[in-house]
């Protein structure tokens, strides 16, 4: 038995399943093979030879209750490790504020939700008021870590009961 990482159609990790179930999902075209086991193992029967799957992806998106990954101020602070994303200052739950990447007035005007994982970041009060109600490029401000991107924490979807296989690493965030 070989554990296989199963991703939603959106590439979010969902479960770790055993390879037999993964093969059934692939055979019934409910899932596609994304990564095969790097050791090149195959599963053989008298009639077929298929690569041992390491990561599969569901073809249809399934709605998953967002355990632990529900949007809240505190969860955004936790995702950003209690640090201002603009100046890198360490914060506390008392000094941290939520900054909207697209300002709230802008979201309202364009009828988009403001309080989402991708539109909210942790900021200190000084940076938040410096940015004001402007769009990021208008404010001339930049994320402290240039590679930073506000996103929904993915790790919360998945409780790893297996050691993470190297083939999975691209698809999961490890602490």
CB of 25 to Zn ion, least distance (A): 46
Contact region for Zn ion (CB under 5 A) — 45-53, 56-64, 71-79, 80-88? Answer: 80-88
Contact region for Zn ion (CB under 5 A) — 49-57, 64-72, 87-95, 145-153? Answer: 87-95
> Applying CB under 5 A, which of residues 4, 34, 55, 84 lies at the interface with Zn ion?
84
What whole-number distance in Å separates Cα of residue 113 and Cα of residue 102?
A: 10
Angle at 152 between CA 146 and CA 156, to 5 degrees: 120
Contacts for 46 with CB less than 8 Å, ≥ 6 apart = none
Contacts for 52 with CB less than 8 Å, ≥ 6 apart = 2, 19, 36, 37, 39, 41, 42, 43
Contact region for Zn ion (CB under 5 A) — 13-21, 34-42, 94-102, 117-125? Answer: 117-125
Residue number, 76 or 127, with CB nearest to Zn ion: 127
Number of residues that bind Zn ion (CB under 5 A): 6
CB of 73 to Zn ion, least distance (A): 16
Secondary structure percentages of the chain, helix, strand, coil, to 5:
20, 25, 55
Q: Are 157 and 12 in contact (CB under 8 A)?
A: yes
Residue number, 91 or 158, with CB nearest to Zn ion: 91
Does position 56 interact with Zn ion (CB under 5 A)? The reply is no
Does position 127 interact with Zn ion (CB under 5 A)? The reply is yes
Residues forming contacts to Zn ion in the complex (CB under 5 A) are: 84, 86-87, 89, 124, 127
């Amino acid at each position: 038995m070989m554990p296989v990482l199963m991703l939603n159609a959106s590439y979010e990790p969902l479960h770790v399943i055993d390879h037999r179930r993964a093969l059934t999902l692939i055979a019934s075209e409910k899932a596609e093979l994304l990564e095969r086991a790097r050791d090149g193992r195959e599963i053989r029967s008298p009639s077929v030879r298929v690569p041992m799957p390491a990561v599969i992806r569901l073809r249809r998106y399934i709605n998953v209750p967002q355990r632990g990954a529900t949007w809240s101020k505190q969860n955004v602070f936790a995702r950003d490790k209690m640090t201002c994303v603009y100046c890198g200052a360490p914060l506390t739950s008392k000094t941290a504020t939520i900054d909207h990447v697209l300002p709230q007035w802008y979201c309202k005007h364009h009828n988009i939700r403001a309080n989402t994982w991708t539109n909210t970041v942790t900021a200190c009060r000084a940076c938040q008021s410096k940015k004001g109600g402007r769009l990021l490029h208008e404010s001339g401000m930049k994320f402290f870590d240039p590679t930073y991107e506000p996103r929904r924490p993915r790790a919360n979807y998945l409780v790893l009961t297996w050691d993470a296989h190297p083939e999975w690493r691209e698809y999961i965030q490890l602490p």
